[in-house]
Structure formats: structure tokens, C-alpha cells
Amino acid sequence: MGYQLSFNQIWRNFDKLTNGVILSLELAVVAILIGALIGLVLAVVYVSSGRVVRFIISTYVEFVRNVPLLLLVYLVFYGLPTVVNIAYDAPTSFIATLALYSGAYLVEVFRSGLDAVPKGLLDAGKAMGLTPWQRLLHVRLPTMTRITLPALSNTFISLFKDTSIASVIAVPELTWGAQWINNRTFRIVEVYAVTTVMYLVTGYAILFALRMLERRFRVER
């Protein structure tokens, strides 16, 4: 065996990990905000449109969901600039990719959330004389938000884990930080032990915070 555990090198470079996890969180937050916007808009469009539009949206959703995220990241970062006149840095490119990625999943979430709004509530809205737009704003969306909160939490946690892919295009998030330390100190076991713990702790912290949020929403009936 002959491998001596030594965490000193890790602590000395700990900022790489802490800055990394913060960046991971930032990436995930921005991605889910944009993704939720995409998902929401497309979900509303989906339920109020005909076959052609639905087919287009479905194609987008199915395509993104069945292709590896890694490929999507490469495609957006390395591929797009060669055909379209875009120039962006790695973090921006990654956020765009992750937003499109989460958007595809969230379209499904919001669509079934909208479908799950009890018909009775819509009827009540119609009876009150609300226009379709008002019904959307005041009845369907608020109700749907409450219904979809658990799925949104799960998606956010998944996204947080997916940010590790950003390391392949040198975005300095947590996994990149771990690899950085690994390559310089070769303290592999220690660095991955610490990184694993950081992902787990952060993941559970997010879960806990989101569960608290859910409970707040539920009490406020």
C-alpha cells in the first residue's frame, strides 16, 4: 500500500475548491433561471398551440434529453462559433448550454404542472369573468408553481451536479479545482475525498433549504 494520507496540500489550495463550489452554484442558479424561463414559455406555448408548434417543441425537448451533456457543451463552445458569428468565453457558453439543457427538462415539468391545475379553479376563473390571459397569470401559474416546486428542486440539484462538466472547457468550478490540485500535488485520494464531501454537503444543504421553501409555500394555502 504505502500511501500516506496527507491533507496539508489540500488545505493550502482550499480556495480553489471553495471558489469552485461557489462558481458551481452560480452557474447552476443562472442556468436554472434562464432554463425555467425557457421551460415556462415553451410550456405555455405548448399547451395553447397546434400540432406543428407542439412537434417543434417536442423535437427540441427530445433532442436535448437524449444527447450527452458533454457533447452539447462541446457543440456550443467549439462548434457554434464556426458557423455562427458568436464569440463567448467558456462560462457564458456553459451557462447557455446548461440553460438549454435544463429548459428541455423543465418544459416537461411545467407542462404537466399546467395540466395538473384542477379544472375547477379554471372554471371559477371563467365564472368570475377573467380573460384567458388573466386566468393564466392569476390562476394557472401560481397554482402550477406550487405543484412543480418539488420537481424544480430536484432539477436544480441535478444541475448543480451537472456543472462538473464545465471543467472540461476549463471553467474553474469545483471539479476543475479538484483536478487542478490533483495535477499539482498528486494527493488524489485526499482531494477527491474532500471534493466528494463538498458535493454531498452542498447538495444536502440545497435540498434542505428547498424543502424549507416548499413547506413555506404549502402552509400559505
Distance in Å, CB of 108 to another protein, minimum = 12
Specify the stretch interacting with another protein by CB under 8 A; choose among 15-23, 28-36, 132-140, 164-172.
164-172
For 32, 70, 105, 108, 133, the CA distances from 122, given in Å and listed in that order, are: 28, 42, 26, 21, 12
Per rule CB under 8 A, is residue 189 in the interface with another protein?
yes
Distance in Å, CB of 129 to another protein, minimum = 39
Q: In the range 91-150, which residues lie near another protein by CB under 8 A?
A: none
- Residue with Cβ nearer another protein (79 or 142): 79
Distance in Å, CB of 3 to another protein, minimum = 4
165, 169, 171, 194: residue in contact with another protein (rule CB under 8 A):
165
Per rule CB under 8 A, is residue 167 in the interface with another protein?
yes
Q: In the range 41-70, which residues lie near another protein by CB under 8 A?
A: 62-63, 65-70
Distance in Å, CB of 113 to another protein, minimum = 20
Q: Are 65 and 155 in contact (CB under 8 A)?
A: no
Per rule CB under 8 A, is residue 204 in the interface with another protein?
yes
For 182, 183, 187, 193, the CA distances from 1, given in Å and listed in that order, are: 19, 21, 15, 18
Cβ neighbours of residue 94 closer than 8 Å, sequence gap 6 or more: 27, 73, 76, 77, 163, 165, 166, 169, 171
Rounded to whole angstroms, how far apart are CA atoms 196 and 126?
52
Per rule CB under 8 A, is residue 168 in the interface with another protein?
yes
Element (H, E) at 108: helix 90-115
- Residue with Cβ nearer another protein (101 or 110): 101
Per rule CB under 8 A, is residue 195 in the interface with another protein?
yes
22, 37, 86, 188: residue in contact with another protein (rule CB under 8 A):
188
Q: Are 104 and 65 in contact (CB under 8 A)?
A: yes
Per rule CB under 8 A, is residue 74 in the interface with another protein?
yes
Can you tell me which residue has the cell 447552476? 28
Neighbours of 15 (CB within 10 A): 10
Q: Are 34 and 99 in contact (CB under 8 A)?
A: yes
Question: Which residues would be at the binding site for another protein (CB under 8 A)?
Answer: 1, 3, 62-63, 65-72, 74-75, 78-80, 82-83, 161-165, 167-168, 175, 178-179, 182, 188-189, 192, 195-196, 199-200, 203-204
